[in-house]
Amino acid sequence: MEGDTIAAIATAQGAGAIAVVRISGPRALPVLGELLAPDASLPAPREARLRSLHDPGSGELIDRALVVTFRASASFTGEDAAELSCHGGRLTPALVLAATLAAGCRHADPGEFTRRAYLNGKLDLLQAEAIGELIDADSPALRRSAVFRMERGLSERIEGLREALIRVDALLSYGIDFPEEDEPPVSNEAILAAVSEAGARIEQLLRTAPEGQRLRRGALVVLAGRPNSGKSSLFNALLGRERAIVTEVPGTTRDALEADTTIEGYPFRLVDTAGLRTATDRVEAMGIEVARRYLGEADLVLFCAEAGRELGEDERRFLQDSPSPVLLVRTKADAARGIETGSKSVRVAIPDGEGLARLRRELRERAFAGSAAEEEVPLLTRERHARALRGSTAALEEFQRALEEGEPPEFASVHLRDAVSGLEELVGRVSPDDVLDEVFGRFCVGK
Ligand SMILES: Nc1nc2c(ncn2[C@@H]2O[C@H](COP(=O)(O)OP(=O)(O)O)[C@@H](O)[C@H]2O)c(=O)[nH]1
Ligand SMILES: [Mg+2]
């Protein structure tokens, strides 16, 4: 419920020198007052002061904490707020939180502080999402992209597009309001040109969506190849730890193993699979089935075959028929010195690390070509973003069709406004509750 006063521990649970308890809402300052000693004053806004915190019921001293208060006009949430930096650990922060609850606060839901910041106009929805991604980011690349969007890098582009479309709509309405003028102030050609330029900019953003989602979830790289071709060894080498069992017995890896890793600063999900052979037992057959499913979804398949030998018929067929992009990796290069393999493959040897740096570079370039090439590209990292922009694109196409077919401008203009709505939903100017739940539901408590 909005309007009540919420509190939560904003720092990670567990041992730590300091923990921060956050309070936000109309009663934030009176609540803090109930925790202070009777003769202690509330610190002036934005001035850090050391204060003793007491249990409001028993009066028992809980801790001494550095206390900062904020007025609604200048706080993260846009409400009166306080932050109490107390000692960390398992008990003290929980007792401070319990004291705020005893003084009338409600425990905050996940993401509720940020949700309030959004509802009070302190952030737009894209910025709020970016904050969540910044907290979750495991890879330097996602962190960089999230900071860029937190600073309105994507919001500004969307606002620019929205304004361009609203200008076009204004020109159209001029023609509607003054039909007696012989010449409309702006020709249909000029209007169509402006709309198709906006459409092209939306398309450009939409093209970043696959890469943006890879940045958030990790690019899916699946290792495939005959049993014993060195898949598990390569999997472990790319992870930098012994995750999969390596043996000379074919068929050791029966299930698919998945692990997250960062390669050249970018996030990847690596999958090691059972070899692609006709299974001799049921368990292995199930592993092969799982492998096939992964292969269909892969952003890139690393197809492993020993260096220095001809590819078999089964292997050539795999390379031809793969539903996903494939890179041929020639493994065990140390055992095939002097024998050339095709230039389109990457040669690797695990014992001396040959080819691994090149393979890592190749992975990054293939999965993250766009963001690797340019420093600050606004990426669409969520299905929600792509969905909203696809809606706008479809509406613009309808608008163009309507105008070209000579429909009255007041009818055509409806499509233009639909396109604007798609952009407004994206930045959160208008947001149905279910969109807000989708965005804030995954936040941690205290953010
Ligand atoms: N000499 C050499 N042997 C390797 C290399 N990579 C893997 N092997 C060996 O090849 C065998 C099969 O490796 P493994 O990774 O289990 O293959 P998988 O069945 O495709 O997963 C094991 O005996 C490994 O030690 C390599 O780069 N050089
Ligand atoms: Mg294996």
Q: Which numbered ligand comes closest to the C-alpha of 331?
A: 1
Percent composition of the chain: helix, strand, coil (DSSP 3-state, to 5): 45, 15, 35
Q: Which CATH architecture has domain 130-208+380-440?
A: Up-down Bundle (1.20)
pLDDT value, residue 408: 87
Asked if residue 177 has its Cβ within 6 Å of ligand 1, the reply is no
pLDDT value, residue 32: 98
User: Is residue 438 a contact partner of residue 129, using CB atoms and an 8 Å limit?
Assistant: no
User: Of 121, 125, 213, 119, which is closest to residue 426 (Cα–Cα)?
Assistant: 125
If you take atom 1 of ligand 1, which residue's CA is the nearest one?
332
Atom of ligand 1 nearest to the CA of 349: 27
Note the maximum CA span of the chain: 87
pLDDT along the chain (447 residues), means of 10: 87 93 98 96 97 96 98 96 97 98 96 94 95 93 93 94 91 68 71 93 94 94 93 94 72 74 95 67 56 86 94 91 93 85 85 96 91 68 95 96 89 93 90 73 76
CATH topology of domain 6-108: Gyrase A; domain 2 (3.30.1360)
Domain boundaries, the chain: 6-108, 130-208+380-440, 215-373
Asked if residue 232 has its Cβ within 6 Å of ligand 1, the reply is yes
Copy the structure tokens of residue 3: 């309007």
Which residue stretches of 120-208 are H helix? 125-136, 140-150, 153-177, 188-206
Secondary-structure class of domain 215-373 per CATH = alpha beta
Same-fold call for 6-108 versus 130-208+380-440: no
How far apart (Å, rounded) are the C-alpha atoms in residues 166 and 421?
A: 11
User: Is residue 405 a contact partner of residue 151, using CB atoms and an 8 Å limit?
Assistant: no
Q: Which amino acid is at 144?
A: R
User: Is residue 37 a contact partner of residue 50, using CB atoms and an 8 Å limit?
Assistant: no
If you take atom 9 of ligand 1, which residue's CA is the nearest one?
230
- Separation of CA 141 and ligand 2 centre (Å): 30
Residue 393 CB coordination number (10 Å): 17
pLDDT value, residue 442: 73
Asked if residue 111 has its Cβ within 6 Å of ligand 1, the reply is no
- Separation of CA 233 and ligand 1 centre (Å): 6
- Separation of CA 255 and ligand 2 centre (Å): 9
Distances (CA, A) of 48 to 29, 68, 82, 325: 14, 5, 10, 56
Distances (CA, A) of 69 to 25, 74, 85, 322: 12, 10, 12, 60
If you take atom 26 of ligand 1, which residue's CA is the nearest one?
332
Q: Ligand 1, residues 243, 246, 277: which to mutate, most atoms within 8 A of Cβ? A: 246
Cα 260 to its chain centre, rounded Å, is 15
How far apart (Å, rounded) are the C-alpha atoms in residues 190 and 417?
A: 18
pLDDT value, residue 301: 95
Q: Ligand 1, residues 233, 306, 348: which to mutate, most atoms within 8 A of Cβ? A: 233
pLDDT value, residue 187: 80
pLDDT value, residue 447: 79
Which residue stretches of 207-251 are H helix? 209-217, 231-239
pLDDT value, residue 397: 96
Question: Do β-strands 61-70 and 49-54 pair in parallel, antiparallel, or remain unpaired?
Answer: antiparallel
If you take atom 6 of ligand 1, which residue's CA is the nearest one?
230
User: Is residue 352 a contact partner of residue 370, using CB atoms and an 8 Å limit?
Assistant: no
How far apart (Å, rounded) are the C-alpha atoms in residues 288 and 250?
A: 13
Question: Do β-strands 300-306 and 219-225 pair in parallel, antiparallel, or remain unpaired?
Answer: parallel
Sign of CA dihedral 396, 398, 403, 408: negative
Asked if residue 236 has its Cβ within 6 Å of ligand 1, the reply is no
User: Of 152, 162, 276, 268, which is closest to residue 218 (Cα–Cα)?
Assistant: 268
How far apart (Å, rounded) are the C-alpha atoms in residues 101 and 279?
A: 60
Copy the structure tokens of residue 266: 């970018």
pTM of the model: 0.84
**Can you give the C-alpha Rg of the chain in angstroms?**
29
